[in-house]
Amino acid sequence: METKEWLKAALENLSRDGVDYADARHLDRESESITVRNEQVAGLSRKSDSGFGIRVLYKGSWGFAASARLTEASVMDTANRALEVARASYLTQREAVKLDGSQPQRGSYKSDFEVDPFTVPLDKKLGLLFGALKVLRQDKRIGVAEGSMSFFRTDKLFLSTEGAEIMQSIMESGAGISATAMEDGELQRRSYPDSHGGDCLARGYEFIESLRLVENAESTREEALALLSAEPCPADTTDLIITSSQLGLQIHESCGHPTELDRALGTEISYAGGSFLTLDKLGKFRYGSKIVNLYGDATIPGSIGSFGYDDEGVPAQRFPIIKAGIFVGYLTSRETAPIVGGQSTGAMRAQGWNHIPLIRMVNINLEPGEEDLSLDDLVADTKDGILVATNKSWSIDDLRLNFQFGCEIGWEIKNGKRVRMLKNPVYTGITPQFWNSCDAICGRSEWRLWGLPNCGKGEPPQTMHVGHGTAPARFRNTEVGVKK
């Protein structure tokens, strides 16, 4: 309570100093990360991180200061330094920042969970991971068997000079396993349920148990071993079926990032890049085929891309991005939304107390197909093609046009059947060309929401937890393999 009073007093002082606007965020985060590799605990740490940040808008210019020292004097000093920084920004101002008319909120939000992962004994967590690794390592060609878990509990308070007062508490849990098979200089990896640490949801330890890591270890191992003798993915132009988690990353890179309005306005061009989705394209550009519908939604219970309010205090919401293939909306903030004639979509998020909020993805999802097409149906409907699963490599240009993704595993499809496994599948394309070639999306029963806890953006770099809901989809005439 002391903290809240100090922060409120600091904001009152800033108001008296004549700032246009100021907000304060205090954040407490507990985290635990465990990585086991073969017979060893490769990494295990528990971290407590707390502090506060104060953001000031002075004569239309921003300043931000943050400190981990939680004393009344430090709060006042940090507020003054935020103002000093804003005054420095003002020295180069060419256009004053104006915020939208979002109403200040007073409220709270708490994510649901059944079992607090921080109360689960370490022995139990390690036992589960080592149990899965034991199955993975039952063949000596598995050179590296790895499992990991990560847990986050975040409590944050948001206050503003406009009168906002919001408390949020979010619990997140994630886990995954992988097997790397090695033989005669060949190296192939399979991961479950996804690569890059598995899957992560805003749930408790019950989510970890629901993943059934031990039960899925055998198939993970066997696919890694089978890849050792698989044929390489040929260089070709063919129909491509992308399964759910890889399609999530495809959406992330080729739709999520380019529809962040700050990128489109140029505030990231010296680092992460800009966007081919320039303002003139809004409402008229054909981004994809008519069956492609993408939307942002921060209200989905249980996702790490969900919350009650963003880090500007704007309520979580659902909003369209691509409607029947047409680009119709950006992810926006209070500063940028008026530029495209709207109100913030509630997408301003900060990694921690010491970071300013930036426009970040929430859950960026692909609507499932209207018919309840299964993955098997989609394969059966494909004469010649390749099916790929689970991300291995990713790269996209600074405007989010030319991409190349590598996957852990592929299968060649002939006359509606998977005929052989392929190793090192890679596909490449140009974003609008690619999404316009989408001619089939599986139905609701194949749709799954994935958590991606490592989205990077901004300077200093910030890592954000985002979500992607997808169903497998088919893309006609896609370039696969690497042409020599």
Partner 1 sequence: MIGEEQLLGLLKRVVSRSPAERTELVCMGGRSGLTRYTKSAIHQNVIEEDTSVYVRVAEGKRLGVVTVNRMEEEELVQAAARAVEVARHQPENPYFEDFPQPAQYQKTNTYFEATAEFTPTARAETMKKIFAQSDRLGFEVAGAFSSGEAEIAVLNSNGLSAYQPLTHAQITIVPVSEHGMSRSSAFSHDVSTIDFEGLAARGLERCALNKDQQEIPVGQMDVILEPSCLADVIMWLSMIAFGSSSFIEGRSFLAGKLGEQSMGDNITIYDSIVEPEAQGLPFDFQGFPKQKVVLIERGINRGVVFDTMSANQAKTKPTGHGLPPGMPHGAIPWNVCLEPGDSSLEEMIASCRRGLLVTNFHYVNGFLDPKNALMTGMTRYGTFFVEDGKIRHAVKNLRWTESMLRAFSNVQAISREREVISDEGGMFSVMPAVYVKDFTFTGVQKEELD
Residues of span 280-339 touching partner 1 by CB under 8 A: none
Q: SS3 of 103, please?
A: coil
Q: Which of residues 373-402 bind partner 1 (CB under 8 A)?
A: 392-399, 401-402
Which stretch, 42-50, 202-210, 314-322, 442-450, contacts partner 1 (CB under 8 A)? 42-50
Q: Which of residues 250-279 bind partner 1 (CB under 8 A)?
A: 265-267, 269-271, 273, 276
Which stretch, 131-139, 180-188, 215-223, 308-316, contacts partner 1 (CB under 8 A)? 180-188
Asked if 137 and 146 touch (Cβ cutoff 8 Å), the reply is no
Q: Which residue has the tokens 């399979």?
A: 190
253 or 297, CB closer to partner 1?
Answer: 253
Strands (E), 136-183: 142-160, 165-183
Which stretch, 50-58, 201-209, 321-329, 362-370, contacts partner 1 (CB under 8 A)? 50-58
CB of 238 to partner 1, least distance (A): 16
C-alpha distances (whole Å) from 92 to each of 59, 86, 262, 357, 482 are: 12, 11, 19, 21, 47
Q: Which residue has the tokens 């002082």?
A: 13
CB of 14 to partner 1, least distance (A): 16
The number of beta carbons lying within 10 Å of the beta carbon of residue 482 is 13
85 or 378, CB closer to partner 1?
Answer: 85
Q: Left, alpha or beta for 38 (phi > 0: left; psi -120 to 50: alpha)?
A: left
Q: Is 49 in the site for partner 1 (CB under 8 A)?
A: yes
313 or 429, CB closer to partner 1?
Answer: 429
Q: Is 185 in the site for partner 1 (CB under 8 A)?
A: yes
| Chain center to CA of 451 | 6
Using the rule CB under 8 A, which residue among 424, 462, 470, 478 binds partner 1? 424
The number of beta carbons lying within 10 Å of the beta carbon of residue 42 is 12
| Chain center to CA of 67 | 26
CB of 46 to partner 1, least distance (A): 5
Strands (E), 301-372: 318-323, 326-327, 348-349, 358-359, 364-366
Contact residues for 71 (Cβ-Cβ < 8 A; gap 6+):
none
Q: Left, alpha or beta for 110 (phi > 0: left; psi -120 to 50: alpha)?
A: beta
Number of residues counted as binding partner 1 (CB under 8 A): 86
290 or 417, CB closer to partner 1?
Answer: 290
49 or 218, CB closer to partner 1?
Answer: 49
Using the rule CB under 8 A, which residue among 7, 14, 27, 85 binds partner 1? 85
CB of 186 to partner 1, least distance (A): 8
Using the rule CB under 8 A, which residue among 9, 44, 339, 340 binds partner 1? 44
Using the rule CB under 8 A, which residue among 66, 224, 379, 452 binds partner 1? 66
Using the rule CB under 8 A, which residue among 238, 436, 470, 478 binds partner 1? 436
Using the rule CB under 8 A, which residue among 3, 13, 50, 317 binds partner 1? 50
* CA-closest candidate to residue 145, choices 93, 56, 214: 214
Q: Is 101 in the site for partner 1 (CB under 8 A)?
A: no
Eight-state DSSP code of residue 356 = -
Q: Left, alpha or beta for 246 (phi > 0: left; psi -120 to 50: alpha)?
A: alpha
CB of 467 to partner 1, least distance (A): 22
* CA-closest candidate to residue 267, choices 194, 358, 206: 358
295 or 435, CB closer to partner 1?
Answer: 435
Q: SS3 of 267, please?
A: coil
Q: Is 8 in the site for partner 1 (CB under 8 A)?
A: no
425 or 472, CB closer to partner 1?
Answer: 425
